[in-house]
């Protein structure tokens, strides 16, 4: 399946259309707050130079997980519960999916057979979200927030509400290909 993605700067306050992000009902009876994992990284060249020259740069340059909270996501009461559980289980899976991959190693199987299985286990949450994307998701990477919608209509409304300010404040940071909604992009 695919999603319709809108990329904005992380610092931009976003406004959601008054429709449930799951069932698309107008003026839903509630809203939810989601906590979604993200990562801050330095450019590859900076990290490679640091390691080659054995410099001691600020640790903020290295991959650190962040937990980004998105508030005010409109959702019906029943839809909100399912969406919250999807994201809770996904976050848990990202941290623990590699554990089953340790079983063959602990049982004494060859490392050449065990490592592919461990890698498969570790990437399984990401593959799962590509096959079964949530109605609403987001990913945060290097100062950008990528909002992923299963519904094209909600994505277009979200874009209309947030596009003008995004283009004025951070034109180089806005992903215009994703913002145009010409073709759905695969979510990550």
Judged against a pLDDT cut of 50, whether residue 186 lies above it is answered with no
Apex 163 CA angle, 159 and 166, nearest 5: 135
Q: Show the tokens assigned to 22.
A: 């799951």
Please tell me the distance from the alpha carbon of residue 162 to that of residue 50, in angstroms, as a whole number.
38
| Region at 103 (left for phi over 0; alpha for psi -120 to 50; beta for the rest) | alpha
pLDDT at 133: 87
Please tell me the distance from the alpha carbon of residue 64 to that of residue 148, in angstroms, as a whole number.
22
Task: Give CA separation, 110 vs 50, 98, 99, 122, 177, in Å.
Answer: 35, 17, 17, 18, 45
pTM value is 0.65
Domain limits, the chain: 4-96+135-180
Q: Residue range 50-57: average pLDDT?
A: 59
pLDDT at 167: 47
List beta partners, residue 138: 147
What is the chain's Cα-based Rg? 19
Please tell me the distance from the alpha carbon of residue 138 to that of residue 88, in angstroms, as a whole number.
13
* Mean pLDDT of the residues in the chain: 76
Please tell me the distance from the alpha carbon of residue 155 to that of residue 16, in angstroms, as a whole number.
9
Please tell me the distance from the alpha carbon of residue 57 to that of residue 166, in angstroms, as a whole number.
32
% of residues, the chain, pLDDT over 90: 11
pLDDT at 20: 92
Apex 4 CA angle, 78 and 172, nearest 5: 125
Q: Residue range 98-121: average pLDDT?
A: 88
DSSP 90-108: HHHHHHHTTGGGGHHHHTT
Judged against a pLDDT cut of 50, whether residue 181 lies above it is answered with no
pLDDT in tens, 112-147: 888 899 899 989 988 888 888 888 988 887 778 889
Kindly report the number of other CB atoms within 10 A of residue 122's CB atom: 16
Q: Show the tokens assigned to 83.
A: 């969406």
């Amino acid at each position: 399946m695919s999603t319709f993605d809108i990329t904005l700067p992380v610092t931009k306050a976003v406004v959601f259309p008054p429709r449930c992000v799951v069932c698309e009902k107008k003026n839903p009876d509630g809203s939810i707050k989601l906590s979604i994992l993200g990562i801050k990284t330095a450019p590859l060249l900076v990290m490679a130079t640091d390691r080659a020259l054995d410099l001691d740069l600020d640790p903020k340059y290295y991959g650190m997980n962040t937990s980004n909270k998105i508030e005010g996501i409109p959702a019906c009461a029943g839809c909100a519960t399912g969406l919250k559980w999807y994201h809770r289980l996904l976050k848990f899976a990202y941290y623990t999916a590699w554990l089953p991959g340790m079983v063959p190693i602990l049982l004494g199987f060859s490392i050449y057979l065990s490592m592919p299985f461990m890698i498969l286990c570790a990437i399984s949450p990401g593959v799962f979200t590509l096959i079964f994307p949530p109605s609403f998701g987001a990913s945060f990477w290097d100062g950008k927030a990528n909002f992923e919608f299963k519904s094209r209509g909600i994505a277009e409304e979200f874009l209309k509400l947030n596009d003008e300010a995004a283009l004025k404040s951070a034109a180089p940071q806005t992903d215009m290909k994703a913002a145009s909604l010409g073709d759905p992009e695969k979510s990550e």
